[in-house]
Structure 1
Amino acid sequence: MSSVATITNNATKAGNDKIYNPNSELDKNAFMKLFLKQLEMQDPTNPMDTDKMLEQTAYLSTMEMNTNMQKTIDTLSKTLTSSNQLSTVSAIGKMADTGNRYINITDDDTKKDFELYFGDNIQSGKVQIKDKAGNIVKEFELNPHSKGILSFEWDLKDSNGMRVKSNSYEISAVYTTPDGKQKTTALGAYPIESIRFENGKAYAKLASQYVPFEKIKEIYQWQN
């Protein structure tokens, strides 16, 4: 019979002094109470075997070590979580790319709103909407505008005024800066404006919405 079972049995014989352990788990406090009760109730003419006492004392030490180790692991986990949160905050001001270039059109949609980020001032250009085959189904002319996020509304009609089929469509833009440079941008690439934490999960504000950090494929510094 194991030492733990021996202590439990002796404690049961103690009578009215019961130790309440609803989960039937022997933690260090319960073990110590049982151990002391066994010493108290032992027969003076037949004391506990020294080897068994040493074995039970060693068991108690092991439980204490395990408890301390668990506390250390919990502290380390909290530290790593805090460190990860700080690393996400450091991404504010950088560019985030979700890799999602498409908007989905269903039969119930009557229009679709979307946003594009322009890292340079716009002199002229075009927003292009393409089908999955790469064909341009609609274009929006770009007038001179300062850099930043621009919002667009698509009535879901193609260049011929016909309602497009329900499908996924790629959104991108080509534009010229005031100094004549050719630039491109696409749906899904925006600067990180802020970071929000909910239930330990990080969300990045990209344009007008918050996106879970794990949805971001790439973070980089904007290059003019």
Structure 2
Amino acid sequence: MSPRKAPALHGTDLSLREHLVATAERLIAERGTTGLTVRAIAREAGVADGVLYNHFADKEELLALAVRAHVRTVGRGMGALPSPGHGSVRENLRAHVLYGIAFHKAVLPAFAGLIDRPKVLDAFAAGGVPGEDWRDRLRGYLQGEVELGRLAADARVDAAVAMIVGVCHETVLTGLLYGSSDSQEVTVEFVDDLVGVVLDGVGGARA
């Protein structure tokens, strides 16, 4: 005879651990992580507070798993990125930049309540799969174009990645820190300028 399912799991195929992660993920997507407590997660999940500690080492582990799940859900919903060798490098890189900005707009608010919780951030980083993060995919794209000869063999891939990721962070974080929605609006001209600097250099330099 199979064990009885907890009442909170009726109508689902999830384990209680999966249900708790899914509940925390949904709360993070709706409210962010600021002020999110074990009690709030347990209440939303329909279980007693102490049940969480039967399935996770601590609340930091649960939060890290939920944030990672949120990031993956956002990524899956944003569609595919261009692959090396298809289309033009300029248009492909433009698509990567727009993707990166939209992705950061969707996920960075979830980290706002974790700035002073390094244990959660460390567990989040440890829970990733190599190559799955957008930064890694951007680097892989550029390196793929180098290998195909569509970018120079001595292209500074890591510097280009740092520049693009930095712009995405700055664009979104400025709005979060200063409460300005205007700073999060990115124009077509700005994206084109960024791609141009990455591919062609800043230009105009004089000795």
| TM-score for both structures, normalised by structure 1 | 0.19
- Whichever of the two has the greater Rg, that structure is 1
